[in-house]
Amino acid sequence: MSKTIFFFVKFFENSNYANDFLDGRLFLNRLSYFKKIEENEAVNRGDKFEGVVGWHQPDKIKLRINDFEIKELAGPVSIQMNHLENLHIFCLYAAHSGELHSVSHESLPELKKQLLISHDCKKLGGNSVIITKSQEFINRVVGAISKNEYIGSAKLVQYYDPNIFSGEFTENDAVFKKRNEFAYQSEYRFAINTGFNGEDSLILNIGPIRDIAHFCDIEEINSSLTLTLPKKNA
């Protein structure tokens, strides 16, 4: 069941970056950048397990070197593809419907709870911008990707429990899978292949977005969020 996205939020470390974003200049680091960031619990941007195509619990996999079998593994075994590190990544917080399959007057409180932004997101930056027309924003990014003749994909990130999950992901899905310690980020991600390898960043110009986005405060969003449905006899 697909999830409905109600709005996006982008967090920035300073207001200059936020204004660049509102002017339509999207800054994308390579996947390798996020893998190399030292994991910092106070920020939680880095993830050395980005782009994992295989995650296997110790009791679900056997390792053999020549005729010697390695037993009693200390933890899960991860498998990664180096070429995925060349992808440029753009991340947003997505306020979406979660596991709700339908909305009714009775389920509105549950939906509102789902849409509230986690206070932990402040770790990602003290300046935030809300995109009120999520599909229009997606359309503009897709248009810029196509105009530059890049290859791109985009979707909500799915989170897995690294202590329980054991299995594989396709290469196309690997960059959209993350461990559940990042679940509070509720991430929607664009992954772009420019056709060039390296570690350089990418600036993707999608044109000004101030008609669909503006500065916001997540505390104000949470406190003022109101959901209504038409009256049943309407």
Q: Rounded to the nearest 5°, which phi and psi values hold at 213?
A: -150, 155
The one-letter amino acid at 192: I
pLDDT at 85: 95
Q: Is residue 229 part of a domain?
A: no
Which tens digit of pLDDT belongs to each residue from 128-168?
A: 999 999 999 999 999 999 999 999 999 999 999 999 999 99
pLDDT(113) > 90: yes
Cα separation, 55 vs 80, whole angstroms: 9
* pLDDT at residue number 234: 45
Residue 41 has pLDDT above 60, yes or no: no
- How does DSSP assign the chain, residue by residue? -PPPEEEEEEEESSHHHHHHHHTTEEEEEEHHHHHHSPP-TTT----TTTTEEEEE-GGG--EEETTEEE-S-SS-EEEE-GGGGG-EEEEEEEEE-TT-SS--TTTHHHHHHHHSPPGGGGGG-SEEEEES-HHHHHHHHHHHHHHTT-EEEEEE-EEE-TTT--EE--HHHHTTEEEGGGGGG-EEEEEEE-S--SS--EEEE----TTTEEEE-HHHHHHH-------TT-
Q: Is 203 within a domain?
A: yes
Whether 67 maps to a domain, the answer reads: no
Angstrom distance (rounded) from CA 99 to CA 35: 29
Output the average pLDDT for the chain: 91
CA end-to-end span of the chain? 27
What does pTM read for this prediction? Answer: 0.90
Least confident of 1-5, 41-45, 213-217, 220-224: 41-45
Could you give the C-alpha distances from 133 to 94, 139, 166, 201, 211, in angstroms and in order? Answer: 12, 10, 37, 26, 9
**Is 144 within a domain?**
yes
Range of the domain at 148: 5-51+84-224
75: confidence class by pLDDT, cuts 50, 70, 90 = confident
Does any domain span residue 233?
A: no
Residue 56, domain member (yes or no): no
CB atoms within 10 A of CB 49: 16
Count of structural domains within the chain: 1
Percent of the chain with pLDDT over 70: 90
190 lies in a domain? yes
Residue 128 lies in a domain: yes
pLDDT at 232 over 70: no
